[in-house]
Structure 1
Amino acid sequence: MGARGKTVWLGLGSNVGDRAAHLRKAIEGLREIAGGAVKSSRIYETEPVGPGEQAKYLNLCVKLVTDLPPHQLLERCQQLEKHLGRVDRGRWAPREIDIDILCYEREILDEDGFVLPHPGIADRQFVLVPLVEIEPELVLPGFEESVSGLLQRLRATEGPQGVVEYRIRHQGGSRILPESMRYVAVEGVIGAGKTTLVKLLAERMACMPLFEEFENNPFLADFYRDRHRFAFQTQVFFLLSRFRQIQDHFQQQDLFRPQVVSDYMFAKDKIFASLNLDENEMSLYQRLSGLLEKQLPRPDYVVYLQADTKILMERIRQRDRYYERHIEEDYIEGLNRAYNSFFHYYDDSPLLIVNTNHIDFVRTPEDLNLLLDQILKGPQGVTYFSPGVKH
């Protein structure tokens, strides 16, 4: 793909067969066509338009960048529809998959039935609702007001139509996170059990797991041997890696498991930086960190797993990761104090603080169920949870 490309918005719909699977495969195909990221709205279930009885549609809109000119892009979209099993039943008929080019940059076109922007956008809430979600200030070529304004005016004249967000139910998930918890971060000092809990949440609640790629840091093993010498390289690598990973994930988020549970949060990077960097390094780090953090979403809910230093050290020894073998207890003690201080003042998201000293949510199902029940209560300020602690 070229350095620039053209920005395009498309509408997708399906009301035959496994509607969600058709949409998922269509997005995968569009990623191949674009050769890069595809930004998507949520999925909406909508009433069919036109004469005759039909099943409800699933609709969404996507945004992508392409080097293909309009007619070639249309041809590729039609080839993708055919590949995904679309049967031509005529106008207003049910469809396995429908991929419409809604808007192609600032292009205005009317050639051989191919019209840009797509005719009827301003009269269809099932198009405008997902389009507004991904690009609320978009002004279509030939229009004077944004798509948000078009939707507001349409709703004022004909009332809200049957456009309802659609949530896929996964057979593997016996529980469902509250709708308000689309992005959950699990935090804690090394050895607290963050990654393990995220795996369990993903399995039981049909969430998309997001794991920190700490093993890819080439400075980590050296840092644990000589923290002063390798602190800045290690910290900047982590900062940029965490930024890239979160940004990439949310740009190509899996619509069919839209709720994300992560074993780290970007803001926690500051904790390690404050412990490991000198004054000059910290000044440079803060400038870089501040620029990056503004571009990332904040968690809707944070779970902070606490444990005493002795317990953390025992867990670290038991898992025996080669790059952690030189970790000193004083370092974990310092981290513990820094984490507790950070979350004492943390107020960017609702927070659940869990004392894990007396529970084993890995080997004891009762402990895991207690913790899951507490998480499922949902965001409500700061909550302290100390299972197994006798008062």
Structure 2
Amino acid sequence: MKIQRITYLSLGTNQGNKLENLQNAINLIADKVGDIQKVSSIYKTASWGFDSEDFFNICLKVTTYHPPEKLISILLNIETELGRKRKESKEYSDRNIDIDILLFDDEIIFSKTLTVPHPKMLERKFVLVPLTEIAGNTFHPIEKKQLSICLKNCKDSSKVSLINDKLKRPVPLSEKYNYIAIEGNIGAGKTSLSNMLSDEFNAKIVLERFADNPFLPKFYKDKERYAFPLEMSFLADRYQQLSDDLAQLDLFKNLIVSDYYIFKSLIFAQITLQKDEYLLYRKMFDLMYKEITKPDLYVYLYQNTDRLLQNIKKRGRDYEQNIEAAYLQKIHDGYKNFISTQQDLNVVIIDVSDIDFVNNPEDYDFIINKIKKA
């Protein structure tokens, strides 16, 4: 599990549409840096150190997994993406966006590319006023004083005016959802994505215990004989596991990510069971299904059949190697039918046939953004 760190950032702009500049920077920071916990009010100040248009300034409280050196690199890239062009001169100048790291936990950092706490933050009211608004009781790691006291001691006499306009704080994934279910065909990557999400957002993970099922290898050798005990054992195990783990939603209110949803039991049963077996199975399923908490978001990973077969071969489970394309298509059709009939389920379908979210960070970010915007 990654360790989250708290950083405070200062943002400023005095060119173009200032509100839009700040909001665009906030959105990119939320996408690329971490969860934004607090956004200060907007404050207007005269340009500091040179004559020009007034600045709009804000501060953010952000939780991030990135170390300081990586963080500053990301922030510089965000500035560039938003159109900032840095000049060789060290003199102050106009800028459409400026992002500075003020504090990083209680660390003191002196490196070639970064100094934390920001060496001039205590001299600038346009930094201290918005920062104190969201972190007044936080201690400056060098001064050993609360920031509210540092503001009172600041000798900067420049005027700082509050702006009535408000900026939107992007809602973090962990606040937006309590329970996310990742689904997909055999070999679609649902377990990989579930593990990555759990690691990224410090979420509790619920993984299907298929490896412990003694009927699974037997089923692939003799489907007709072992289909019913396999599906019944999976149903019982999924029901018990989800009932136990999802009960913690009310206790801790933390994010839970699972690599399956219990309805997959019915999808597979429709394919594998004889008619009379399925009717009996359906009675048991309906009783259990009413008791299971529905996910806040149901993510279906679609992969074409050729890619699924490649993935199955690559991961090398002996009992899966004889799975046929027609069987995978039946499973996909079952999921498709299920999704089309679930009007009260929040569903996002993501085609992962031509991407590699495990090894390509950009592909992973693409999926995260899909989930955030669902």
With normalisation by structure 1, the TM-score equals 0.50
Matches of 2:357 and 2:364, distance apart in 1: 4
In structure 2, the partner of 1:284 is: 280
Matches of 1:354 and 1:219, distance apart in 2: 31
2:287 partner letter? L
Q: Select 1:270's aligned residue among 266, 270, 275.
A: 266
In structure 1, the partner of 2:360 is: 364
Look up the SS of the partner of 2:263 in the other structure.
helix
Give the alignment's Cα RMSD to 1 decimal: 1.7
Relative to structure 1, the CA distance from residue 348 to residue 215 in structure 2 (aligned partners, 3 Å threshold; closer, same or farther) is farther
Q: Per-residue CA shift, 1:24-60, capped at 9, x if unaligned?
A: xxxxxxxxxxxxxxxxxxxxxxxxxxxxxxxxxxxxx
Matches of 1:347 and 1:321, distance apart in 2: 36
In structure 2, the partner of 1:65 is: none
Matches of 1:263 and 1:254, distance apart in 2: 20
Matches of 1:345 and 1:186, distance apart in 2: 18
1:266 partner letter? I
In structure 1, the partner of 2:200 is: 204
Matches of 2:198 and 2:243, distance apart in 1: 20
Matches of 1:178 and 1:202, distance apart in 2: 10
CA contact (8 A) 2:183 2:190 kept: yes
Q: How many residues were matched structurally?
A: 204
Could you list the structure 1 runs, at least 4 aligned residues long, displaced by more than 2 angstroms after superposition.
Answer: 250-257, 344-348
Matches of 1:371 and 1:274, distance apart in 2: 30
After TM superposition, give the deviation of residue 179 of structure 1 in Å: 2.6
1:305 partner letter? L
Q: Select 1:189's aligned residue among 185, 189, 197.
A: 185
CA contact (8 A) 1:222 1:230 kept: yes
Q: Does 1:329 align with 2:325?
A: yes
Relative to structure 1, the CA distance from residue 214 to residue 184 in structure 2 (aligned partners, 3 Å threshold; closer, same or farther) is same
1:223 partner letter? F
Q: Does 1:215 align with 2:211?
A: yes
In structure 1, the partner of 2:175 is: 179
Q: Per-residue CA shift, 1:89-110, capped at 9, x if unaligned?
A: xxxxxxxxxxxxxxxxxxxxxx
Relative to structure 1, the CA distance from residue 231 to residue 277 in structure 2 (aligned partners, 3 Å threshold; closer, same or farther) is same
After TM superposition, give the deviation of residue 284 of structure 1 in Å: 0.6
Q: Select 2:247's aligned residue among 248, 251, 264.
A: 251
Percent identity over paired residues = 38
Matches of 1:206 and 1:217, distance apart in 2: 28
2:278 partner letter? M
Look up the SS of the partner of 1:179 in the other structure.
helix
In structure 2, the partner of 1:103 is: none
CA contact (8 A) 1:206 1:257 kept: no
Q: Does 1:234 align with 2:226?
A: no
Structure 2 unmatched runs, 5+: 1-170
After TM superposition, give the deviation of residue 255 of structure 1 in Å: 5.2
1:298 partner letter? K
CA contact (8 A) 1:186 1:263 kept: yes
